[in-house]
Amino acid sequence: MPASLQITAAKVDPALLDLPWEVPLEEWPGEVLAALPRGISRHIVRFVKLSGRVIAVKEIGESVAYREYELLRSLRRLEAPSVTPLAVITGRRSPDGEELNSVLVTEHLQYSLPYRALFSQYMRPETASRLIDALSVLLVRLHLLGFYWGDVSLSNTLFRRDAGAFAAYLVDAETGELHPTLTPGQRNYDVDLARTNIIGELMDLQAGEVLDEDVDVVEVGNTIVERYESLWRELTDVELFKTSERWRVTERINRLNALGFDVGELTMTTDIGGTTVSLQPKVVDAGHYHRQIMRWTGLDVQENQARRMLNDLEAYRAETDRQEDDPVLVAHDWMDEVFNPTVKGVPRELRRKLEPAEIFHEVLEHRWFLAEQEERNVPMMEAVEHYVETVLKHRPDERAFLDRETLSMPAIED
């Protein structure tokens, strides 16, 4: 370890010291690199194998590196969907004494892919719509936390499968700012910037013949404005109703739960005559289904995956006539009798292709299609075997997906 090298981290992995920090990042040897797809970046970024896991290393200016590190740490404390910061490394010098850029080290998000890799795999117009939905939810969640992004784009986001949809994670916080609350102007700027960047990114995909030229990219880009505003209104708008319609309080909470949000606090006021009630959610937390499945099973899954698992768990409770039993005990038996056997029914060498919860979701979907096609009840293990042979064997490995076209794209320096 060179005398000038400084590592700032909450917990230092000693293996960091073995990496070739005296070499510019773009010249790092292949034996330390992990073959993962990279999106377009303003900086040199490399994925590196370290202590049995993968980290992302980004060369960046020292002050910006420290600022982004602290922002990402704050976002993680707020449970925002973002990558986990590990360290900032400064004081790098080459063997001949030349100063090298500082680096920000983050943990690679398993099973995640940049948007270009997703299009390279599927090249379907509806993929764009699903990514826009995921980015809209991410942006609303960040804004509710008081985070102004300042550079919203598909390129600055990673995506993970979530029961047929996608979950989005912030991966680049260089331009971000954390405030107690955001002004409408700050929120609108982020949304408008997202629209502009998305249109440009999709046009770039069309130019590279990755996205069908018949797709109206302007219309797709405009949808993030519509979906963001619709979700923001549902989460924050004041609702007026008569005092005789108190059931609408429960209805509003149920609607928010259906969107995947918990209501931590409500503000209710009545007018002078006491005939009208004003209702506004004051504290709204994302992850309603995620938290519920975590409490009952201990599984850490995406929101839509959790919703699907809870639906199957409810069906299991009804089939076994255990609606009155402790849900934690029922969930334990459901894990032993349904979830675990389904996932373990997939050959070990194929399980790494998708997250276990996504495999379970896809098996349920496959079982439903088989039953509809053959007009009979299909046993779960039969569905697993058919799914493995006809679907999973032909799927790319999304834990460590290698997309040669994506990897061949050069990183872009400022």
Same domain, 253 and 224: no
Task: Work out the angle at residue 74's Cα, subtended by the Cα atoms of residues 22 and 228, and round it to the nearest 5 degrees.
Answer: 115
Q: From residue 55, how far is each of 19, 89, 319, 346, 357 by CA, in Å?
A: 12, 14, 45, 28, 23
Output the tens digit of pLDDT for each of the chain's 414 residues. 455 789 999 888 888 988 999 999 999 998 888 876 555 667 888 999 888 888 999 999 999 999 999 999 999 999 899 999 999 999 999 888 889 999 999 999 888 888 888 776 655 667 788 889 999 999 999 999 999 999 999 999 999 888 878 899 999 999 999 999 999 999 999 999 999 999 999 999 888 888 888 888 899 899 999 999 999 998 888 888 787 787 788 888 888 888 888 877 778 787 777 677 787 787 777 888 888 998 999 888 888 899 899 999 988 988 899 988 998 999 999 999 999 999 999 999 898 888 899 999 999 999 999 998 888 889 999 999 999 999 998 877 655 444 433 333 333 333
Give the full edge-to-edge strand order of the sheet including 84-90: 6-8, 84-90, 102-107, 53-60, 45-50
CA dist 162 and 301 (Å) reads 9
Residue 61 and residue 167 in contact, taking contact as beta carbons nearer than 8 Å: no
This prediction has a pTM of: 0.79
CA dist 307 and 414 (Å) reads 42
| The token pair that represents 72 in the structure block | 């990402």
Q: What is the pLDDT of residue 41?
A: 63
Q: Could you tell me if residue 378 is inside a domain?
A: yes
Same domain, 210 and 316: no
Residue at 133: amino acid letter: D
Same domain, 264 and 359: no
Q: Could you tell me if residue 321 is inside a domain?
A: yes
- Domain residues for 253? 239-286
Same domain, 366 and 381: yes
Where b means 16+ CB within 10 Å and e means fewer, 377-395 reads: ebeeeebbebbbeeebeee
Count of domains observed in the chain: 4
Q: Could you tell me if residue 344 is inside a domain?
A: yes
| The token pair that represents 149 in the structure block | 């992004």
Close Cβ partners of 214 (under 8 Å, ≥ 6 residues apart)? 125
Same domain, 156 and 59: no
The residue among 68, 92, 109 that closes a domain is 109
Q: Could you tell me if residue 293 is inside a domain?
A: no
Same domain, 195 and 175: yes
Same domain, 226 and 279: no
DSSP designation for 368: H
Same domain, 51 and 69: yes
The residue among 88, 109, 130 that closes a domain is 109
Same domain, 204 and 316: no
Q: What is the pLDDT of residue 36?
A: 67
Q: What is the pLDDT of residue 194?
A: 96
Helix (H, G, I), strand (E, B) or coil at 215: coil
Q: From residue 139, how far is each of 126, 134, 189, 344 by CA, in Å?
A: 20, 9, 12, 36
- Conformation bin of residue 274: beta by default, left when phi > 0, alpha when psi is -120 to 50: left
Same domain, 314 and 264: no
The residue among 253, 286, 319 that closes a domain is 286
Number of neighbouring beta carbons within 10 Å of residue 58: 24
Task: Work out the angle at residue 74's Cα, subtended by the Cα atoms of residues 132 and 76, and round it to the nearest 5 degrees.
Answer: 60
Q: What is the pLDDT of residue 409?
A: 36
CA dist 374 and 387 (Å) reads 15
Close Cβ partners of 101 (under 8 Å, ≥ 6 residues apart)? 25, 59, 60, 61, 92
